[in-house]
Amino acid sequence: MLDLIVTLCTESTGFVHGISLRSALASESRLCFNTNLRLLTATRGWHNPNGTLLNSISAVFLIISYSSASVVICLDGHMNYSKTSPTSYVGIAIAGIPLLILGVALLLQVMIALSAMRAVKIFTWSSSPFDLTAALVHHTQLTPTTFRCMCCVSNLDTYGGPAKPSETQPSAWHAHPSIRKVVIFLWVIVAACAGWAAFVMSILDGSLTLQTWSFLQNFEGHLVAYELPNGSPEVVWILLFVNIAAFQELLTLGLHCSELIVNVIRDERQWRCAARRQGLRVATNPLKPIFTHPLCLILFIAKPFLHWMFGLSFNIVRGAIQESLELEGFLIHMFTAQIWNLCIALFIFACFFTFVALRRPSGPQPAAYGHPQTLANLVDEWSPVMWWGHKEDGIPYCHAGTSDHPLPDVKMDCVYAGSGAGSPVPLS
């Protein structure tokens, strides 16, 4: 439940931070796609709210937020060293220090997002790539290029002349260079989790069997325990956070980077609605695509669920002396079965997002993947509801574009170059 609350808070601040970053990049003429790796893409100037320094600090606070949520609930061990009757017992405790750190981390993320919002002129609050493209064209930040009405985003680096329609379009893997890095990073996380589980198993004698396998924690199963060095309460808490964050940072950053795949695919599917019967509705609620698109919902559920599964892979026992109530130290249990459960879940997650990234859209409509320049080249007529298709026959080239009424399908055997392309341009 706490992981879900953290996800809601960080997603809200992330939306504001992402919109401000997008506008800042557009102001610098460095905006390539509608969606960017929010914490790994920076504007110029180290002191800028969207610069490298504060983006790195935001990433640290994001990791601290989920790490704090993982250690809020722990087992509380008390020892009574009475000479007559020494006793000990273990109960469940809610730690106040992690809650305080969680609140501070969330507050600082909000402050960074608000400062980023105030430092730049926001072109549009909409998450739609069409609202962004229209705003950039209106503010002369973007100029449509001629002869590219049938060129997809992957053709930007090649000669953009007239072209015939293609039956399939390039995948997000080939169209967006950062998508490849994200997919590779997801598989690195799977390998790291498998290595973690194998390392824990190598320490213990005996193999993991189906009888000892369970989804929830089982102290009678396969586990390893290690104790953090004793010291002052401040030092002990710092050591605990460093230990948990060291394991959780890859998971947190991997799930954050997965937003890129989800949002890029969401932008492309929205664009492909223009070739369907119902058409493309440009004006939408800024938050509606985030909460109605299936991939967005899957990632929104996967984030707290995977962090919860990570929390099941270990347990923290807080020791205290009964008479003085001084913190004695922490004992951390790592459960092999739960680590493997997390590894399996991450494997399924990585497989699914790899499939999504490699899937090639079908149909002659050029793929844009939220690329503003490509959308500006493809959309020649803006309206609240748009349809894309064949608009005009011509010699030697035909014209495809958008309209406020349904259009016929493009002709697969014709060469398209755009409206007014009267002079022949050699095909590449």
CB 340 within 8 A of CB 369: no
Position 144 pLDDT exceeds 60: yes
Q: Quick one: which H or E segment has residue 223?
A: strand 223-227
Whether 228 and 377 map to the same domain: the answer is no
pLDDT digits (tens, 9 = 90+) for 240-294: 888 888 888 999 999 999 999 999 999 999 999 999 989 998 876 767 777 788 9
CA 214/CA 163 separation, integer angstroms = 57
User: Which of 359, 378, 395 is the last residue before a domain boundary?
Assistant: 359
CB 309 within 8 A of CB 20: no
Residue 218: its pLDDT value, please?
A: 73
Whether 43 and 72 map to the same domain: the answer is yes
CB 271 within 8 A of CB 175: no
Average pLDDT, the chain: 84
Strand partners, 224: 334
Position 225 pLDDT exceeds 80: no
In the block, tokens 């664009």 appear at: 271
**From the centroid of its chain, how far is CA 26?**
21
User: Which of 359, 377, 396 is the last residue before a domain boundary?
Assistant: 359
Which pLDDT band, with edges at 50, 70 and 90, does 316 fall under?
confident
pLDDT digits (tens, 9 = 90+) for 352-387: 999 999 999 999 999 999 999 999 999 989 999 999
CA 63/CA 10 separation, integer angstroms = 11
Residue 16: its pLDDT value, please?
A: 92
Mean pLDDT of 129-149: 88
Which pLDDT band, with edges at 50, 70 and 90, does 72 fall under?
confident
379/206: higher pLDDT: 379
CA 389/CA 409 separation, integer angstroms = 5
Position 41 pLDDT exceeds 80: yes
Q: Structural domain of residue 393, as residue ranges?
A: 142-168+367-422
User: Which of 359, 387, 405 is the last residue before a domain boundary?
Assistant: 359
Whether 322 and 389 map to the same domain: the answer is no
Position 190 pLDDT exceeds 70: yes
Whether 281 and 371 map to the same domain: the answer is no
Position 185 pLDDT exceeds 90: yes
Q: Could you give the percent of the chain with pLDDT greater than 90? A: 46
Residue 323: its pLDDT value, please?
A: 47
Whether 390 and 296 map to the same domain: the answer is no
Residue 75: its pLDDT value, please?
A: 65
Residue 158: its pLDDT value, please?
A: 59
Whether 344 and 402 map to the same domain: the answer is no
What is the SS3 assignment for 134? helix
Q: With respect to residue 129, please indicate whether it lies within any of the assigned structural domains.
A: no
- The predicted model scores a pTM of 0.86
Residue 187: its pLDDT value, please?
A: 97
Q: Could you give the percent of the chain with pLDDT greater than 70? A: 85
Position 425 pLDDT exceeds 60: no
Q: With respect to residue 161, please indicate whether it lies within any of the assigned structural domains.
A: yes
Residue 326: its pLDDT value, please?
A: 52
Instruction: Report the domain count for the chain.
Output: 2
Whether 43 and 151 map to the same domain: the answer is no
Minimal CA–CA distance to 26: which of 372, 313, 381?
Answer: 372
pLDDT digits (tens, 9 = 90+) for 43-56: 888 778 888 999 99
Position 174 pLDDT exceeds 80: yes
Whether 293 and 227 map to the same domain: the answer is yes
Whether 243 and 109 map to the same domain: the answer is yes
